[in-house]
Amino acid sequence: MHESDQKLLEESFKKYYFDNFDLIHVPGKPSEREFGYQKFNVGMNRHITLKSDEELHLLLITNIPSDVYCSNAYYSFPSLPMPEKDWQGADLIFDIDSKDLNLNCRKEHTCAKCLSCSSVFKIQSNCPKCNSTKFDIKSLTCNICISSAKDEVTKLYDILTNDLAIEEENIQTYFSGNEGFHIYVTNSQYQKLGSRERSELADYIMFRGVIPETFGIKKFDFEKSSFPELNEKGWRGKVAKQIVGSKSKKPKIIREIISGSYTMFQKKLDDLKDVIGARIDPNVTMDIHRIFRLAGSLNSKSGFSKILCKNIEKFNPFTDACLLDDETTEIKASCPIQFKLKNRKFGPYNDEKISVPKYAAAYMICKGLASTV
């Protein structure tokens, strides 16, 4: 990142933090958590302890970080190196990112930036300017991406409350500040689970590793197979509802299943994976030592805030999380994709000087699609 771009972002981030201390708090049990931060063009600084909002706010104003993090884990000695921290437990955190959903819309709002000549172009095999095949992929999230991620959040919420008996008041959903959502589970019976158990929990949530025997289908005695009732809890009831639909149809559907084969039923289960399972990142869930972006802090990939979603259906990140100011800012933009922030359209821009609100300037600079004039 150029020095002038870094300066603009640092000034913008500092003003945001100074004006929005009311959004930024240490989480519960702060003295047992590890904090960390990163500055623009500088590596990670972690193993930090903070005990209060005042200490956190001082860190923000003094260091002007590009990104701020906090552990989901609780430690006896959070400031010591990892082997000496003495892990005590960790909140459950789930990551749902639209880039992992393989959506068709992504090709419409994805471009490439050449690593050789810095030109920006729609995706193709080589740079049209210098013919290089080395480039970074840049994506500007759209409403379809966010809507699809919200659908996965809704499925996850249903699994957490109905299958895993987690109380609603112990679940919080945050927009990640870029392309998805982080779902936190605190004060639950799952705090002490290790990585292996959390991996198995992720498999359940994703409907991964499912086999016909779970649903009474016997491989070597297929005709004597049974089938779950529609009102059963967990996987069995969900599969029954999807395959059977209603009690009146059950006898006919079961006959059709038994007239088929074990392999065909396995294929049917595989096809239900994305219907019944929530598409989370399992590596995030099983990591009991990860530090996560702090709620209320800014995401350097977008300039958006990681913010609590009180109503997931009505939440709009392009207005609700776009909190930098609207001071007119001159930049040079190479952004071939149109986007919308705060109900205002921007782009496409073809390597041109423009004047835009600071929140839009910061967004494009963070994406690597603009620079200061």
3-state secondary structure of 205: helix
Q: 57-66, 112-121, 138-147, 245-254: lowest mean pLDDT where?
A: 245-254
Q: How far apart are CA 46 and CA 68, in angstroms?
A: 10
The predicted structure's pLDDT at residue 230: 85
Q: How far apart are CA 283 and CA 57, in angstroms?
A: 30
Q: 59-68, 225-234, 266-275, 294-303: lowest mean pLDDT where?
A: 225-234
- pLDDT digits 0-9 by tens, 293-316: 999 999 999 999 999 999 999 999
Q: How far apart are CA 330 and CA 59, in angstroms?
A: 30
In degrees and rounded to multiples of 5, residue 347 shows phi and psi of: 75, 180
Q: 102-116, 182-196, 244-258, 285-299: lowest mean pLDDT where?
A: 244-258
Closest CA to 143 of 319, 324, 325, 350: 319
Closest CA to 304 of 292, 320, 327, 291: 320
Q: How far apart are CA 91 and CA 54, in angstroms?
A: 24
Residue 260: which pLDDT band, with cuts at 50, 70 and 90?
Answer: confident
Q: 94-98, 99-103, 121-125, 169-173: lowest mean pLDDT where?
A: 121-125
Q: What angle do CA 317, 66, 5 make, to 5 degrees?
A: 95
The predicted structure's pLDDT at residue 225: 62
Q: Which two tokens stand for residue 3?
A: 């020095």
The answer to whether the beta carbons of residues 219 and 213 sit under 8 Å apart is yes
Q: Which two tokens stand for residue 80?
A: 């010591």
| 151 part of the active site | no
- Kindly state the helix (H) or strand (E) to which residue 17 belongs, with its residue range: helix 3-19
| 281 part of the active site | yes
3-state secondary structure of 88: strand
Residue owning tokens 């990640």? 176
- pLDDT digits 0-9 by tens, 220-237: 766 666 778 888 889 989
| 5 part of the active site | no
Answer whether residue 14 shows pLDDT above 70.
yes
Closest CA to 265 of 301, 325, 207, 218: 218
Closest CA to 136 of 127, 146, 145, 147: 127
Q: Which two tokens stand for residue 129?
A: 């300017």
> Burial of 360 by CB count in 10 Å (0-12 exposed, 13-18 middle, 19+ buried)?
buried
Topology of the domain comprising 18-100+142-204+280-323: DNA primase, PRIM domain (3.90.920)
Q: How far apart are CA 295 and CA 298, in angstroms?
A: 9
The predicted structure's pLDDT at residue 202: 97
Count Cβ atoms below 10 Å from residue 342 Cβ, excluding itself. Answer: 15
What spatial distance separates the first Cα and last Cα of the chain, rounded to whole Å?
A: 14
Q: How far apart are CA 98 and CA 75, in angstroms?
A: 32
Answer whether residue 67 shows pLDDT above 80.
yes
Task: Spell out a b/e string for 306-326, using b for 16 or more CB atoms within 10 Å of the CB, else e.
Answer: bbebeebeebebbebbbbbee
- Ranges for all domains in the chain classified under CATH 3.90.920.10: 18-100+142-204+280-323
3-state secondary structure of 167: coil
Q: How far apart are CA 115 and CA 134, in angstroms?
A: 6
The predicted structure's pLDDT at residue 39: 95
Q: Which two tokens stand for residue 294?
A: 């702090």
Residue owning tokens 């003295």? 31
Q: Mean pLDDT over residues 42-60, rounded? A: 95
Q: Which two tokens stand for residue 168?
A: 């609603």
The predicted structure's pLDDT at residue 224: 62
Answer whether residue 246 shows pLDDT above 80.
no
**pTM to 2 decimal places:** 0.92
The predicted structure's pLDDT at residue 158: 95
- Among 97, 136, 221, 351, the active-site one is 97
The predicted structure's pLDDT at residue 122: 86
Closest CA to 227 of 198, 186, 269: 269
Q: 86-100, 193-207, 237-251, 315-329: lowest mean pLDDT where?
A: 237-251
- Among 163, 281, 320, 326, the active-site one is 281
- Among 95, 158, 271, 320, the active-site one is 95
